[in-house]
Structures are given as C-alpha cells and as structure tokens.
Structure 1
Amino acid sequence: MWLYGAGGGLIAGALLALWLNRLIHHEREALQLPATTGAQRAIRGGLVVVVSTILFAALTWAELTARWLDTSEVQPSDFARWLRLGYHLVLVALLIAATVIDLDCYMIPDAITRPGSVFGLLAAMAAGELQIAHLWVDWGLDPLALSLHGPYIPAWFDQFRWLHALTWSVAGLLAGAGLTQLVRVVSSRLLGQEAMGFGDVTLMAMVGSFLGWQATVLTFLLAPLFGLLLAMPAQFLLRKPYLPYGPYLSLAAVAVLFGWGALWRQTRVIFSDFLGLFILGSIAAVALIGLLTLVRLYRSIPVRRSAPVNREAEENVSVNAKEAIESMRIDSGKDAISEE
C-alpha cells in the first residue's frame, strides 16, 4: 500500500514545488523582497518532493495497513477509508505548502488556507464518512452503563450523515480559528506587540475543517511543545530575528493525524467533560504565551555576531517583510495577506 502513497507523493510533491515557486515569487514581489536564486529554488523543490513522498507513503501505511487512525466509535467502510486517506493527503500537501512559504516569507497567504478550508468543509459534507471522531461522544457515563451500552452517541449522527459531517467540520474550523485568535489577541497585549499573524488563525481554521474540533484542540496543545523543543534551539543557532509559528502548528497537526487512535483513547473522557476541555485549552494557551514570552526575552539579549553583514541583511529582509505586510493591511483594509 505504501508504494502507492509514495508514488502519489512523488507526483504531488513535484506539482507542489512548481506551485510554491510561483506563489513565493508573487509574494516576495508584493513584499518587495529580493527574488530567490535558482539554486535556492532547486533545493527547496527537492526538499518538498522528498518530504511529500515520505509523508504520503507513511500516512498511507498508517491509515490502510496499521490502522493507526481507527477508533471504536468511528468505523468507516473500506471505500470510505480510501476517501479519507485522500482527504488527509490533501491536508498534508497544504500544510507542507504553508510551512515552506512561512519559513521563506514569514507569512501564510490566503491562497492556501481559504481554498483549503472550503475543500475541507465541502468534501466532508459530500462524503459523510471522512471524520476521525464524531461531533460528540459521551464517555462520562457510569462504568456499568459503559460496559452495557458503550458511550452515548446521538442517533441523528447516523441518520443524517451529511449534516453530522458538515457540523463536525464547521465545529473544527470554528475551534481552530477561535482558539488561535483568542491567544493571538491575549499574547499580543501581554507582549506589547503582535505575536502571531492572522495567517496562523486561518491555518488552524483549515486544520479544523479537516480534523474536527477534538483533534484541533490537541494540535493547539502540542504546537507549543514542538516550538519549545525545536524553535528555541533554532533561535540560538541560526539567530533568526522572528519565529514563524505556522510550521509548528503544521507539525503538530501531522503528529495528531498519525497518532490519532492512541491520542483519542487517552483523551476521549476529557472531551466528554466541559471542565476538562477548559483545563486542556488553558494549558495550551499558557504554554503558547510562555513560548512567545521566552522568544521576546531572547530577542532582547544583545548578541555578538561573527558575520554582521549577512545577519544584518537577513534581519532587514524580515523587517521589510513585516513592514510591507503592515503597509498592505493599512492600504487595503483587508487581511488578504497575513503576517507571521
């Protein structure tokens, strides 16, 4: 099975690399940044193809062979498994695109997230069996009731599958956008500057439309952990002036997707309890704000650099990108291009 995924990833990666070259060229022109060199484009394209091939092959094996996404409540048909795999592969491709352009331009364009969100909603509604969890499953019953009847699942989920799927996808979209926007506003006020771009909000909205609200909450919870493990070492080693957060949201979403079966078995009781959900969301918000605070403290530390000319050029590129994005927001009054 995984060979089919690898072949699809190879083709998808090549097409994705071509699209990203055009998209990045357009965004860098709009931001008045220098164009990338031919060597940079070749390396970037090669990495996109390799990563796409590996992830497509691994996800195909995980979903169809190892059944890592299976849960006792959601049992799709064999045909629906293939449809759900394709659905998730589209999400993985979009996350790769968002990560690459975020690392290059410090922003995530709506050209990736808005069509992705619409596709997530419409495909879920059309198929009716693409969800990895139901909209609501009550595991908070007493042990005797659970042993006799299992968790409570509303009957209309099965009677109106298209409506359940649409509601599940919309709930995920709202949860992703709402949580990220809330933390974006709070952290910006605490830090005295915009800590996250609106592109992070639309990215999480897209993730939610594909994975539902439960997986989106877990993604939001895990992203700061990936940031603490990977971003801070990168800050000290590479002296990056800004921390693009989108790649860590994307990485967390892929991790949740691969480990969904195990994660759901460990957290399904929490998702049946509103107090547990509040605690879980609070932990995620505090972890993210803590990460952003550490990054700001790091930026305030004076560092002697061995190659000042190159570092200054790099910082100027990032500052120019930020100023260009802010200028475009003021001129247009829209969030068509969002700063990371």
Structure 2
Amino acid sequence: MSPDLLLVVFAGLLGLLVGSFSNVLIWRLPRGENIAFPPSHCPHCDHRLGVVDLVPLFSWLALKGKCRYCGAPIKARYPVVELLTGLGYATIAALFPPLTVGWGALGLMVLLTLLLVGSAIDLDTYTIPDELTLPGVALGLVFGALNGWWGTPALPDFAGAVQGALLGAGLLVAINQFGSWVLRRFRERQFPEFPLGYQQISLALLAGAWLGPWWGAGVGLLSAAVNFAARRVVRVPELLTLGGLLVSITLGSAGFGPGMILMVQGALAAAGAVSLVCGVYWWLHWRRHREDDTPEADAQSDASAMGFGDVKLAAVIGAFLGWERLLVAVVVAVFAGALFGLVQMAAKRENRVKFGPYLALGAVVALIWGGRLVAEYRGLLGL
C-alpha cells in the first residue's frame, strides 16, 4: 500500500472519531454546556456511556439506534455525521495528499468539521454559534501561515487567508446591509447598536471604497469610539453611507478615484474587518451579561447575534479557501437555496432552512471543484 493511500485510510478513520466528537459539539454548543465535562451520557436517562457505546457507526448499528440503558431512540444524525466526516476526511486526503500539501490538508479537514457542525446546529436552532465561527476564522489564519511556510500553491498563504476572511465577511454583510435597507424602504434603522454595529459597518463600506480596507476599517471603528465617548449613538445616515457607496462605485466605473474594482474590494474588506470586530465585541459582551434578566440585557443579547452568523461563516470559508473559491461557494449557495426554495414552494411547504447550510454546501463544492472552476473562468477571460 502506497504512503498516500495509507494516509487516506488513516484520514477516514480519524474522520470517524472526529465525527463522534462533532456530535458532542452539535448537542452542547447551542446549550452553552462544557464540551469536555461531564463525560458523554445519554440525554434521556443521563447514564454515562461506556467505551463500547461510543464506537463510531458500529455502536449505533449494534444498539439498533437505541440507548443501551433506557431504550430511548438515538437520532440517526449521529451515525450520519460520523459517516460524512469519515468520508470527507478520506476525500480530502485523496485530493490534497498530506505529503504534498502539508498542513493544508489538516486545515481543510478542520474546515469540513466546522461546516458540518455549523450546518447541523443551524438546522436545529437557526443560529451558528460564535464559539464555532470566530475561533474558526483564527484557525483559518493559522493554517494560512502554515501554507505559506510549506509553500502550498493550491491554498492561500497568510495574506491570502486575511484577504479571504475580510472579503468573505464583507460580501455577506454588504448583501445584508443593502437588503435590509431596501426592505425598510430606505428608512433609517430605528435602534442602531451601541457603541458599534451595522452603522459602523456601513460607514466602513463607504470609507473603504475611497481609502482602502485598513483606513476604511479605521474610520468605522473611529465612529464607534465617538459613540463610546459621547455615551450615545451619534447617527451617520444610511442615505449618506450606503447611498454614498452606490454613487462612489458609479463614479469609479466612470474613471474617478481608484477605479470600480479596487473600490469594491476596499469597501468589502473594510466592512468585513469591522463586522468581525463587531462579532468579537458582542460575543464577549454577551458572555459577560448572559445571566442578566433585564430588558436592556435582552436587547444587548439580541444585538450580539446581529443577524450575521452567516457573515462570520463566510469569513471562515474565505480564510481557509481564499477569496476566489469563496465566490464559488457563495454562487453555489445562492443557486442551491433558490432551487430548494422552488421545490418547497411547489410542495406548498415553508422553507425554514437558513442560508448557513447552503453556504456550507457551496464551500464543499468550492473545496473539491473550485480550483478547476476558477482556472476555467480565468481561461475564458484570458487571464
């Protein structure tokens, strides 16, 4: 057996074990439980599970999908997650041989786990935990640095991971911003977040178009500092920020300023940077105040989610795969969501699936076929 084939087998076995742990994350993260303690137990009778109860796939099959101790049914999701993780890890090891791409193969396996766990939680709770996505962005940057050290051409280096994370978050948050603005019939937000939130993201979009990503992000964060110093929200109208961005891009397409492409890139990256800062801030804020029961605390807790769990998931995908494959993932996600929505409409059923699972599906497609699709697109453009 060749070393590469042996690594594929080992990767599949590792995936089965990681899939078992993924089920722990899927159950415990939404409930705010410790992922290590107490040890694995039946959620129905609380009986601690033994080693023979925790063998991936085989324990579920041997027990015929029921708890050994109380007879309660065990969801089929458990073996499905284990099987998908095992097959996914083996596929990654086959397409991206670890002896060739180095740490990048392990990074892609980590990404697959993040996508699978995030999708399962999103299907259950309609949320994607910050405890999954924000550390996931950091891991993407770490593996980007390792890719650069190893010299892996197929995967982004540290600079590419940063660019992918910022553009991923920026693209999704820009869609969110303009979509919300249109749905509100271009009226201002009634309750802007304090001290930073969507208003600062919109300001970063406008400033980033003219000043570039880092100065644009600085302007957005400066607005948050002004709010903090004033102890209130100093409003910056969306007609100025979002409307100004549309005017700016129109001017850029006519040859003014840095040019349309650079303006779009600068705007999205600046907004992505501010949105990730918002995500970290509200995550930490919620962790400090989650036991408060006052209406004010509830309002802050609602703001912590801010409606862009998908934004942070896109940042994770961009950090691991780079901005070009991220675009492939978003396009696939949009088409998959639209297709499933049409099927649900034909069946006269409400489509309750959030965008996160579609985005995860798009990321898997981009991981496997994204490089080829990007290369063919570049060939069509003569690049």
TM-based fold match above 0.5? yes
- Measured after TM superposition, the shift of residue 126 of structure 1 is 3.5
- Measured after TM superposition, the shift of residue 245 of structure 1 is 0.4
1:250 aligned onto 2:360: yes
1:125 aligned onto 2:145: yes
Determine helix, strand or coil for the equivalent of 2:96: helix
Q: Return the letter of the residue paired with 1:185.
A: Q
Counterpart position of 1:216: 326
Determine helix, strand or coil for the equivalent of 2:353: coil
Of residues 41, 44, 49, the one that matches 2:77 is 44
In 1, the alpha carbon distance for the partners of 2:94 and 2:100 equals 16
- Measured after TM superposition, the shift of residue 272 of structure 1 is 8.5
Determine helix, strand or coil for the equivalent of 1:94: helix
In 1, the alpha carbon distance for the partners of 2:78 and 2:311 equals 26
In 1, the alpha carbon distance for the partners of 2:114 and 2:125 equals 16
Determine helix, strand or coil for the equivalent of 2:90: helix
Q: Return the letter of the residue paired with 2:126.
A: Y
1:39-75 Cα offsets, whole Å, 9 max, x none, are 67632222211211121222222223xxxxxxxxxxx
In 1, the alpha carbon distance for the partners of 2:74 and 2:341 equals 24
Of residues 54, 64, 69, the one that matches 2:87 is 54
1:262-297 Cα offsets, whole Å, 9 max, x none, are 212212357897xxxxxxxxxxxxxxxxxxxxxxxx
In 1, the alpha carbon distance for the partners of 2:124 and 2:175 equals 24
Percent identical across equivalent pairs? 30
In 2, the alpha carbon distance for the partners of 1:63 and 1:11 equals 20
- Measured after TM superposition, the shift of residue 80 of structure 1 is 4.8
- Measured after TM superposition, the shift of residue 178 of structure 1 is 0.5
Counterpart position of 1:98: 118
* 8 A Cα contact 1:18 1:45, kept in partner: no
1:10 aligned onto 2:120: no
Change (3 A) 1:254 1:134: closer
Change (3 A) 1:221 1:40: farther
Of residues 168, 179, 183, the one that matches 2:175 is 183
In 2, the alpha carbon distance for the partners of 1:199 and 1:133 equals 27
In 1, the alpha carbon distance for the partners of 2:139 and 2:380 equals 29
Q: Return the letter of the residue paired with 1:8.
A: L
* 8 A Cα contact 1:220 1:252, kept in partner: yes
* 8 A Cα contact 1:80 1:130, kept in partner: no
Name which one, 1 or 2, has greater alpha-carbon Rg: 2
Counterpart position of 1:141: none
1:265 aligned onto 2:356: no
Alignment of 1:268-279 (within 5 A): 268-269=378-379
Counterpart position of 1:85: 105
* 8 A Cα contact 1:124 1:130, kept in partner: no
In 2, the alpha carbon distance for the partners of 1:126 and 1:11 equals 24
TM-score, normalised by the number of residues in structure 1 = 0.58
In 2, the alpha carbon distance for the partners of 1:133 and 1:62 equals 11
Change (3 A) 1:182 1:272: farther
In 2, the alpha carbon distance for the partners of 1:120 and 1:57 equals 20
- Measured after TM superposition, the shift of residue 127 of structure 1 is 4.1
Q: Return the letter of the residue paired with 1:174.
A: L
Change (3 A) 1:234 1:52: farther
1:226 aligned onto 2:336: yes
Change (3 A) 1:85 1:40: farther
- Measured after TM superposition, the shift of residue 8 of structure 1 is 1.4
Change (3 A) 1:173 1:131: farther
In 1, the alpha carbon distance for the partners of 2:339 and 2:327 equals 19
Change (3 A) 1:185 1:81: same
In 2, the alpha carbon distance for the partners of 1:55 and 1:102 equals 20
Change (3 A) 1:131 1:228: farther
Counterpart position of 2:229: none
TM-score, normalised by the number of residues in structure 2 = 0.52
Change (3 A) 1:107 1:204: same
Q: Gaps spanning 5+ residues in structure 1: where?
A: 28-35, 65-77, 136-164, 274-340
The Cα RMSD (Å) is 3.0
| Paired positions, count | 222
Change (3 A) 1:212 1:261: closer
* 8 A Cα contact 2:164 2:326, kept in partner: yes
Q: Gaps spanning 5+ residues in structure 2: where?
A: 34-42, 45-66, 190-305
Alignment of 1:26-175 (within 5 A): 26=32, 42-64=75-97, 79-128=99-148, 129=150, 133=154, 165-175=157-167
